[in-house]
Structure 1
Amino acid sequence: MALSPTAAQRRVIDAADPVTGRLRGPQTQLAALVKRGLAFRHPRPPHDHFLTPAGHRIRDAADAPEEREAPAPATAPADGGVFAARVGGEETAPGATGPARLREVRGAWQGLLELRRMTHPDGSTDRPCAWERSHLVRAAALALEAAGHRPAGPGGEDGYRVRATPQPEAVAVHGPDGTALRGCAATLERAGWQVGEHTEPRTRARYLLASPRKV
């Protein structure tokens, strides 16, 4: 079982890359986080340290209640902050659109592919990694936004909406019409997700149920 970090180790965890979980800090602190099960040292050069799923949970603990009840925050503001893929339905922060946002999204997606490469034993990038499995909504939203899909606005404007479901390792993706949903399904399948289309019994609205592919 992972042990709770000290204050100094918590500062290292808090400073981890929000997407890849890559850590920077004194070697003594990094080694202590490994002993506590909160980080691991990658076997390939340059032997960087990354958060384990337990480490990610500690980093995200303060945001967990909000994530269960409301969409994730929009994105990093123009003057800096934590990147978050748009899940649809959230307010867009000032300055969080245009070329700067595109660069952030593409950089986050490339970082996620690198995390896949470094954490899968075979070095593959064609299927989700442990971070994605512990951050299903954000991971699916990043795949969609990086591929150019438009998230829904706060007033219900056309676009995708990614939401958690009661099912383990599954998210629901809602869209304005069947064509948009099929496009989202194709994107998620290319990103390594298993996708099925379903009908909501009460409203008859179509939606996607997506799960990270394991093999």
Structure 2
Amino acid sequence: MTRPPTAAQRRVIDAADPVTGRLKGTEAQLAALVKRGLAFRHPRPPHDHFLTPAGHRIREAPEPEPESGPGTEPVAEASVTAGSGVFAARIGGEEAADGGPSRIREVHNAWQGLLEMRRMTNPDGATDRPCGWERTHLVQAAALALEAAGHPPAGASAGGAGYRVRATPQPEAVAVREPDPGALRACAATLEKAGWQVGEHTEPRTGARYVLASPRRV
């Protein structure tokens, strides 16, 4: 079984950029994460370090509680947990939340960070197609593309207008549903522009239309 990261390594992982996975730390800390397969050093200058998919999984997993016992004292650590300071795109169906200027700025910054990750991690530096992070976070990636383009997510109430992005049994594919046909086609156009392959389908039982989207490779 792989040994869990040390407390210091976990702090570096948790403090990674929430979208790009870019890391900050000492050379020794970053080298140790690379050795363990939790980070990689980008081959092009400035040779920044980024989380690998395994590193992202570590960050998203809850940090284990320290064991207590005789002679042990709780240790206070100023670390960023997986549940705080991490951007989350709205996939549709959440409770009503702030959609004001601060959220718009947050979404814009997240999308720009994702484009930078594409530039840094796609072999040819392309920003017009999804990168590895998006292929391991399909629902979040598709939802971010939609929210960044201004599409409204569905509210928590059933049947409300707005998009909903959900995982599917198919590998590398998400389903996007929108009760308004015109809005559904607009969502499809946005995803296609963001580098996704899209196709409209019909639910056999209900007749409802939905979009199946997968990250384009070339």
TM superposition score normalised by structure 1: 0.87
- Is the 1:133–1:212 Cα contact (8 Å) retained in structure 2? yes
Aligned to 2:162: 159
Match of 1:123 in 2: 125
Structure 1 contact 53–131 (Cα < 8 Å) conserved: yes
**C-alpha separation in 1, matches of 2:2 and 2:202:** 41
> One-letter code of the match for 2:163?
Y
Kept in 2, the 8 Å contact 1:173–1:208? The answer is yes
Larger radius of gyration: 2
Structure 2 unaligned segments of length 5 or more: list them: 64-83
Superposition RMSD in Å: 1.7
Corresponding position of 1:208: 211
Distance 1:169 1:85 in 2: 18
- Greater share of residues in helix: 1
TM-score normalised by structure 2 residue count: 0.86
2:64 maps to 1:60: no
Q: Show structure 1 runs of 5+ residues with no match.
A: 64-79
1:62 and 1:197 map into 2 onto residues whose CA distance is 37
Contact 1:105 1:146 in 2 (8 A): yes
* Distance across 1 between alignment mates of 2:2 and 2:22: 18
CA contact (8 A) 1:3 1:37 kept: no
Corresponding letter in the other structure for 2:51: L
* In structure 2, C-alpha distance between the alignment counterparts of 1:146 and 1:9, rounded to whole Å: 32
Q: How many residues align?
A: 197
Distance 1:11 1:103 in 2: 26
Question: Post-superposition shift, 1:46?
Answer: 1.7
Could you tell me how far 1:3 is from its partner in structure 2? 5.8
Counterpart of 2:18 in structure 1 is 18
Q: Per-residue deviation at 1:6?
A: 1.8
Runs (4 or more) in structure 1 with deviation over 3 Å come to: 1-4
State the partner residue of 2:37.
37
**Deviation sequence 1:43-90 (CA, Å, 0-9, x none):** 222211100111111112239xxxxxxxxxxxxxxxx73211000000
- Displacement of 1:180: 0.8
The worse-fitting range, judged by mean Cα deviation, of 39-48 and 138-147 is 39-48
Amino acid corresponding to residue 156 of structure 2 in structure 1: P
What is the aligned partner in structure 1 of residue 66 from structure 2?
Answer: none
